[in-house]
Amino acid sequence: MSDHPLDPATADLIRRMPKAEIHLHLDGSLRPGTALELARQEGLDEGLDLTAMQDRLQAPERCADQAELLQAFALPIRLMQEASVLERVAGELVEDVATDGTVYAEIRWAPALHLGHGLPLDEGIGAVVRGTAAGAAATGVVVRLIAVALRSHPPLMSERVAQAASRYLDQGLTGFDLAGDEAGHPDVLDHVRAFDLARQAGLAITVHAGEWGGAGQVARALAVSPSRIAHGAPAINDDSLVDRLIDGGVTLDLCPTSNVQAGIVEDVAHHPLRRLFQRGVPVTLSTDDRTVSDMTLVREYERAVTQLGVTPAELWAMDRHALRVAFLHHEESLRARLLDAFDRFAAGEPALAGGS
Ligand SMILES: [Zn+2]
């Protein structure tokens, strides 16, 4: 596939356009400088300087598989075991996404991975809620949170996470997700009770699927009726699955750079983002992990243009769609206000017409 040059006007437009990023992990987006400071405090820095810490936090450009990619999260998670740290890094991530021109962000993390120093589940969640609220107040970014349960954890732990998360629904925690090692734990139905609890409490449902196991694994995730799937790129290989996603209005929250790292596509130029979009599958574009992928949302958008030939109008359609499917289901007037601000921006930009 040929390279598509990034003209200055498009580069400028990408920077200026208001953005919504709805697939972003807290533990994959720790600032290297903060990680170094925390590691030194804990005696875990191994003599690393800032550059070496940055390298250490970043996963290889292309891992053998999802399991290798997940290894990159071990150190950040180890450093994030105190309420004060969770609060700090959550606030810093909101400040960082603001530098991309992001006006709406959904940040997700797995509360059960941060109990190592005896932190109660609810207190850990409360710390992330406080940190993001502070970041939101400082930047004006609207932030909502998604609690992630893990495929490798006992189903009972997933239920506890769903119940604890539900108690923060009115403080901006509006979604529930399942993520982690797919090869070892392919069946989402192991955690079906947690999904039921989350849904009954009013949380919106998403599932990580398709970083291993191809289209069949994406199809399997539909068993818990998610409104969105995190990744799901291999769906392109199964026409009947593509039809099911379109008919069911199930959005794929795609992250091309991260998918290359997980080894499911050869390079960004081979990612099915644009093909899925053109087939009519609802898609959005995110980084997944700012630090583990050494990526910003602006650069992810630029890559979509230069390596996949996505047009500014198509980018805009994906961006606007992220707001339409954002987990603001209890705050429709806020969604309407954000969409209105997007539409007012687009009205002054002829290059953004005709993407949807
Ligand atoms: Zn993810």
Q: Does 2 have pLDDT greater than 80? A: no
| Dihedral sign (CA 238, 4, 320, 147) | positive
Q: How far is the CA of 56 from the centre of ligand 1 (A)?
A: 19
**Which secondary-structure segment (H or E) carries 230?**
strand 228-231
Report, as an integer, the average pLDDT of 282-305: 97
Q: Which two tokens stand for residue 67?
A: 């399991």
Give the helix ranges, DSSP H, for 249-296. 256-261, 273-279
Distance 279 CA to ligand 1 centre (A): 23
Contacts of 3 (CB under 8 A, 6+ apart): 306, 307
Please tell me the number of Cα atoms within 13 Å of 137 on its side-chain side: 6
Res. 51: pLDDT tops 60: yes
Per residue in 161-209, pLDDT (tens digit) is 999 999 999 999 999 999 999 999 999 999 999 999 999 999 999 999 9
Q: Is 314 known to be catalytic?
A: no
**How many angstroms does the Cα of residue 57 sit away from the middle of ligand 1?**
16
Where does residue 185 rank: exposed (0-12), middle (13-18), buried (19+ CB within 10 A)?
middle
DSSP string, 8-38: HHHHHHHHHS-EEEEEEESTT---HHHHHHH
Q: Which residues contact 49 (CB under 8 A, 6 or more apart)?
A: 36
pLDDT for 1 beyond 50: no
The C-alpha atoms of residue 232 and residue 212 are separated, in whole angstroms, by: 10
CA of 176 to the centre of ligand 1 (A): 13
C-alpha 288 to ligand 1 mean position (Å): 5
Catalytic residue among 92, 211, 300, 314: 211
Residue 225's SS3 state is coil
pLDDT value at position 354? Answer: 64
Write down the pLDDT at residue 4.
87
Please determine, for residue 133, whether its predicted confidence score (pLDDT) is greater than 50: yes
Is pLDDT at 355 greater than 60 in this prediction?
no
Q: What does the pLDDT look like over 113-130, one tens digit per residue?
A: 999 999 999 999 999 999
Rounded to whole angstroms, the Cα distance separating 237 from 102 reads: 32
What is the whole-number distance in angstroms between the Cα of residue 229 and the centre of ligand 1? Answer: 10
The pLDDT of residue 169 is 98
* Domain 8-349: assigned CATH number: 3.20.20.140
